[in-house]
Amino acid sequence: MASAIHTAIIPLLLYFAQICWCNQPSSTIKINYREKEKQVLDQILGPSSYDARIRPSGVNQTDGPAVVRVNIFVRSISKIDDVTMEYSVQLTFREQWLDERLKFNDFGGKIKYLTLTEANRVWMPDLFFSNEKEGHFHNIIMPNVYIRIFPYGSVLYSIRISLTLSCPMNLKLYPLDRQVCSLRMASYGWTTDDLVFLWKEGDPVQVVKNLHLPRFTLEKFLTDYCNSKTNTGEYSCLKVDLLFKREFSYYLIQICIPCCMLVIVSWVSFWLDQSAVPARVSLGVTTLLTMATQTSGINASLPPVSYTKAIDVWTGVCLTFVFGALLEFALVNYASRSDMHRDQMQKQRRQCELEHAASLEAAADLLQDGGTNFPMSDDVLFQKPLVRSGDQTLEKMRQCKVHMQQPHRPNCCRSWLSKFPTRSKRIDVISRITFPLVFALFNLTYWSTYLFRDESDGE
């Protein structure tokens, strides 16, 4: 009897409990919206309702091309390589498009968006980077990628990637140049009849603040379109041009100033004595070899190109000045030997003059003695020795005149150079003034030409 009563009471209690639960206010009922997200995903991505192989419709459900808007965030630029002409960049890449098939109920704004981590669940644009050399995704700790689906059917795809991109460079103005490196994105298979890429309106490219590059400065960046036509159709393309300016201070310290110092050191030989042959030769050869090594090191860090770079002009002229200082000593050494030969000739000329003066004195004495002891009218035979003596004197005078040089008209430069007795000394003095003046004139011309040269001239 008791068990029968107990069996009858339990259903009655359950009935009253259900009535009480249904009469509770709706504010006290807790709904698990994460479970609702699962239900929504299963509903909109089910095999019967969605096919990822079919592209979305065009604007307003038309049959036009699907429009994909792109924006990127440049996180870092690790290197810009002049030899291989490439640069490495890490960026966050985002695409956004509308797919009407993915609309869902947001439960009064409770579900702002759905998040996916598998890109193959939905249709994706077949975008690729046309100037890419290498690239990889980031998978630490989890793959850095997500897909957000909004209630009105908009899809946002975001991924973090690292790329090594080609950057053809014009090095005519190196190291005073500016380089434009592009980032090109295009559709691989869908033509413009099916897929169109557009830059997102309002700041489509962002760059991280305080971007530091070792030898460059990012001056500005420009976005543009680069649609390409092939024999298979026209493909949509986007590009962003990054304008880099090379930091010249590094090259000023590492290249220009050392080259100037080597050129100036080569001028020290002009102030050394012309007889210090070992010192002047060792100084000239050392500076020449050092300058050649410096030039080789500079060229090793650059790709071999068919045109002349600004740095080639600088190092070539500096090497020419150092080589000219070495040739100047060879000229001084030759002039020194010529001066020694001239001194010997002057000694011979002075000796001839002394002998000539002595002969004249002897002839005068002989004439004087002959006038007193042997009259001219009495005997002519006594005059023959005098005639022979006069002929010998004239012959010696002719020999001396051969070695004598005709004097030139005096002028300011010649009068100033006359202060230096030898030609070798004059060459050194002229070199002390000429070499610095010519090098200063070259610097004035070089820097005024390349610093104020129009950038379009280097293209």
What pLDDT is stored for residue 386 in this prediction?
A: 43
What pLDDT is stored for residue 381 in this prediction?
A: 40
pTM: 0.72
What pLDDT is stored for residue 374 in this prediction?
A: 45
What pLDDT is stored for residue 395 in this prediction?
A: 58
Q: Is 60 exceeded by the pLDDT of residue 300?
A: yes
pLDDT class for 235, splitting at 50, 70, 90? Answer: very high
What pLDDT is stored for residue 136 in this prediction?
A: 93
Mean pLDDT of 164-169: 94
pLDDT class for 22, splitting at 50, 70, 90? Answer: very low
pLDDT class for 227, splitting at 50, 70, 90? Answer: very high
Least trusted range by pLDDT, from 1-15, 169-183, 296-310, 345-359: 1-15
Token couple for 183 = 């980032």
Token couple for 149 = 């689906």
20 or 95, which is more confident = 95
pLDDT class for 339, splitting at 50, 70, 90? Answer: low
Greatest mean pLDDT range, 30-39, 44-53, 169-178, 384-393: 169-178
Please give the mean pLDDT across all residues of the chain.
Answer: 81
Encode pLDDT of 200-225 as tens digits.
Answer: 998 899 999 888 888 899 999 999 99
What pLDDT is stored for residue 77 in this prediction?
A: 93
What pLDDT is stored for residue 377 in this prediction?
A: 45
What pLDDT is stored for residue 156 in this prediction?
A: 95
pLDDT class for 57, splitting at 50, 70, 90? Answer: confident
235 or 61, which is more confident = 235
Mean pLDDT of 180-188: 95
pLDDT class for 253, splitting at 50, 70, 90? Answer: very high
Mean pLDDT of 293-303: 89
Name the percent of the chain lying above pLDDT 70: 77
Mean pLDDT of 32-55: 84
Domains and CATH numbers, the chain: 34-246 (2.70.170.10), 251-341+433-453 (1.20.58.390)
Mean pLDDT of 117-146: 91
What pLDDT is stored for residue 267 in this prediction?
A: 92
What pLDDT is stored for residue 164 in this prediction?
A: 96
410 or 138, which is more confident = 138
Mean pLDDT of 53-74: 88
What pLDDT is stored for residue 383 in this prediction?
A: 45
Encode pLDDT of 370-415 as tens digits.
Answer: 555 544 444 444 444 444 445 555 555 555 555 555 555 556 555 5
Q: Is 70 exceeded by the pLDDT of residue 345?
A: yes
Question: DSSP 3-state helix, strand, coil percentages of the chain (rounded to 5)?
Answer: 45, 20, 30
